[in-house]
Amino acid sequence: MAVKKGHTAELTIESAAYEGKGFGRLEDRACFVKNTAPGDRVKVRIIKKRKAFFEGQLLEVLEEGPDRVTPVCRHASVCGGCTWQHVTYAEQLRFKRQHVEDHLQRIGGLRDITPLPVLQAPHELYYRNKMEYSFGDRRWLTREEIDSGVTFTDKDVAAGMHAPGRFDRILNLDECHLQIPVSYEIMNFVRHYALQHDIPSFNPIKKQGFIRHVMVRTGHHTGDLMVNLVTFADRDDLVQPLADALLERFPEITTIVNNVNDTPSPSSEGRFEKILYGPGYITEKLGRNAFRIDANTFFQTNTLQAERLYETARHFADLRPNDLLFDLYCGVGSLTLYTADAVRQAVGIELNPVSVENAFRNAAANGVTNCAFETGDMKDVFTQKFVQKYGKPDVIITDPPRAGMHPDVVKTLCTLAADRLVYVSCNSATMARDLAELSAVYRIDAVQPVDMFPQTYHIETVAKLTRRS
């Protein structure tokens, strides 16, 4: 009998596929199942049928595979924050390396490149320096909660993560193990404060309510602690008493800000920002440099692994005292400053003007005088005119967004043919695509995966390229 949508079936999970879903076979077709581990024998309900594959919903683990473990967090199977807590960390690392190798070979056609073993994180949990919790008036009830028969009277103020695939429903968290425990405690405090004081959560459909997000940022090396209250309206009479209550309960907080996003956009970045307590920013260190981090500033989310990532990039760049270095997609200049002491001059390019302002400020605060920064879209700024202004670079570091580099940027890199090129990537698929084009001019000497996000399928990668003679 042919398998159809809605049918139940049993299968063995052979390996892991994209986004960490388990991969098995039904009727000689691939079947992808969330929350499974290699070696599991499972019962699933078919929820999607396509010409080339099925997608199944896990109903029961009939027999556990050797790499399955009990998740630390009770929300792991339904929350999108940790998709692989049920798998041993060793297997996570093996999968991530295979993930990078598959992209290099299948997308980039680079069949002779084998990634190095993954640089594993020193902490498998509590590693994030930033967490953003969403608030809403429509709580997502899990199957376990529905089956319990309990009537939940606090559904109008839910705080945690968006339910997978739902922008309008919030999975209410009772725990979270991604950031230090005080992070979850702050979120939970705000939730209970809102319930006690009848402060409504935001409804994205009706475009009404007040509290939208609570963001917590921490300095691993400095101990700084920021709370960013994101609201739908500018109401000092509501946020200031809340800030005072937070400070009384959590005296370790060093600053509290209020981002007011009174637009339909779901962003946590407000149309304007108000400082409620402290300086309005935190400070964090990477290597010898200290960085100012505002509420809406991009900064690497895992401080300890960011240092290892940057050290890998610096090592691959083989920096020399007389080098001119270009740092593409430089953000707040963290990698630019991390490498500046080893070169004659470092020049960063970044699209976000606020990040560039912070980059200049970070350079001045750390006494770094051999850095320059330019603002603009990379394809428009990184041109021959730019090279004429600063000179031909000896080494280039590029750290593009998940979409990879614009074809014009890749073309410019090939035309420039710098002696050394280091490609830092948060998406090995687009990196493989770009490396395929760059390989006409550059030799790919090494590819080093770095695990920035344990318990997830995400992986950062650093590639070392040298100009062909």
Kindly tell me if the per-residue pLDDT of 189 is higher than 60: yes
Known binding residue 399? Answer is yes
Runs of H (alpha helix) within 107-142: none
Kindly tell me if the per-residue pLDDT of 171 is higher than 80: yes
Helix (H, G, I), strand (E, B) or coil at 412: helix
Cβ atoms of 343 and 323 closer than 8 Å: yes
Euclidean distance between CA atoms 113 and 110, whole angstroms: 6
Q: What is the CA radius of gyration of the chain?
A: 24
The domain 94-123+301-467 having CATH identifier 3.40.190.10: the answer here is no
Nearest-10 crossing angle of helices 428-438, 89-106: 40
Determine whether 176 is an active site residue.
Answer: no
Percent of the chain at pLDDT > 90 equals 79
Kindly tell me if the per-residue pLDDT of 147 is higher than 70: no
Kindly tell me if the per-residue pLDDT of 146 is higher than 70: no
Helix (H) / strand (E) element for 448: namely strand 442-450
What pLDDT is stored for residue 165 in this prediction? Answer: 72
Calculate mean pLDDT across residues 141-169: 74
Calculate mean pLDDT across residues 400-427: 96
Euclidean distance between CA atoms 294 and 215, whole angstroms: 12
- Which pLDDT tens digit goes with each residue over 238-283? 999 999 999 999 999 999 999 999 998 988 999 999 999 999 999 9
What pLDDT is stored for residue 111 in this prediction? Answer: 93
What pLDDT is stored for residue 79 in this prediction? Answer: 84
What class has domain 130-286? mainly beta
Assess whether the region 8-68 and the region 94-123+301-467 belong to the same CATH fold.
no
What pLDDT is stored for residue 153 in this prediction? Answer: 66
Nearest to 390 by CA among 303, 325, 311: 325
Known binding residue 300? Answer is yes
Residue of higher predicted confidence among 413 and 354: 413
What pLDDT is stored for residue 174 in this prediction? Answer: 87
Domain 8-68: CATH superfamily is Nucleic acid-binding proteins (2.40.50.140)
Domain ranges of the chain: 8-68, 94-123+301-467, 130-286
Catalytic option among 176, 371, 414, 426? 426
Calculate mean pLDDT across residues 393-408: 96
Nearest to 320 by CA among 298, 337, 345: 345
- Which pLDDT tens digit goes with each residue over 284-302? 999 899 998 999 888 889 9
What pLDDT is stored for residue 260 in this prediction? Answer: 97
